[in-house]
Amino acid sequence: MEAGLGRGQSRRSSTSAESLGGPDRTRQARRRQESPRRRPRIEVGEAKFEKIPQTTVRLEGRHAETMLKLYEALEEHEDVQEVWANFDIPDEVMERAE
């Protein structure tokens, strides 16, 4: 997502469209597209909810490595469906962790 794309705004390209909004707005848009009274103008390929942080926390060194281990452990846990985070880790630290 672009930093300039805010809640209630959308972005389109020749092959896709992206829109940010709350759960109510997403449900309304989905219902309108799936209405039998309306011929769909676009096909909805995917609709999902994601948490997008308003602020991020920069992590470096040992703190970044520890956070990445925790994040990976949560993602792999069988009882966890989604993992969101607001950390900002430099690319070189991310590459070393892989």
Per-residue pLDDT reduced to its tens digit, 8-35 = 566 677 777 677 777 777 677 777 666 6
Q: Where are the beta strands (DSSP E) in the chain?
A: 10-12, 17-19, 57-58, 87-88
Alpha-carbon distance values, 20 to 7, 11, 67, 72 (Å) = 5, 9, 27, 27
In the prediction, which pLDDT does 76 show? 95
Cβ-contact 10, 18 below 8 angstroms? yes
- At residue 75, does pLDDT exceed 90? yes
Is the pTM higher than 0.75? The answer reads no
The residue among 72 and 50 whose pLDDT is bigger is 72
